[in-house]
Amino acid sequence: MLRVKEMTLLNGKKIDLELRRGEVVQLEGANGVGKSLFLKSLAKLVPSSWKEMSLFEKSPQEYSLQDWRGKMLYLPPEVSFDPEMSVQDFFDLPLSFERYEGFQRSFFPENYWRDTFVKMSSLSSGQKQQVALLRALSLSPEILLLDEPFGHMDGAKRKEFSDLLEEWCLKSDGAMVIVSHVPVHFDSLNPSHLKF
């Protein structure tokens, strides 16, 4: 699915990664060692170099930036939004982009979030993370790059959303790379760990 050999990050660190369908990799290490930088580099949000990289056996040069980021979706710890935007507007915004023209959702975040007409600005930090995660899943990526996806969620919500991610991974045969300082537990998935 994704193969990276000797990716050199902006901080000089070199990383190798091989990610297969249905696999979860959890990045481990102290603050500031480059875990988030690695996710951003994979999503091509920051510059990096590599000896070899392929996504579905195609080089990054064979993808448009838009297609690359559609297949490998990065979710930051904090999501930006227009304060006047409703949750429904937030869910629907990506569908206005050319990449998603004619796109039909197979996962409907509205099924998990009832009050879609409240303003995003009225939500707590944990609720914003939940809404952002639901939107990411609704866009049917092949790989999720999750940077502290549970940082603002309480234990019950963390479990609920871990279960939802596990279900997505098993049903879609997708894969995840996760940075999380809170423990992430899955019932059926056994994440591998990449130490930084």
**Rounded percentage of the chain residues whose pLDDT exceeds 70:** 100
Does 185 map to a domain?
Answer: yes
Does 126 map to a domain?
Answer: no
**Number of structural domains in the chain:** 1
Q: Is the pTM of this model over 0.85?
A: yes
What phi, psi does 66 have (nearest 5°)?
A: -65, -45
> Residue 55 is part of a domain; what is its CATH number?
3.40.50.300
Cα separation, 189 vs 185, in Å, equals 8
146 near 76, Cβ under 8 Å?
Answer: no
Question: Quick one: the chain helix, strand, coil %, rounded to 5?
Answer: 35, 20, 40
Does 112 map to a domain?
Answer: no
Name the average pLDDT for the chain: 90
Q: Is the pLDDT of residue 10 over 90?
A: no
Residue 42's domain comprises 2-84+142-195
Does 136 map to a domain?
Answer: no
Rg (CA), the chain: 16
Does 24 map to a domain?
Answer: yes
Q: Is the pLDDT of residue 97 over 90?
A: no
**Token pair 């023209």 in the structure block, residue:** 101
pLDDT tens for 64-95 read 998 999 899 999 999 888 989 999 999 889 88
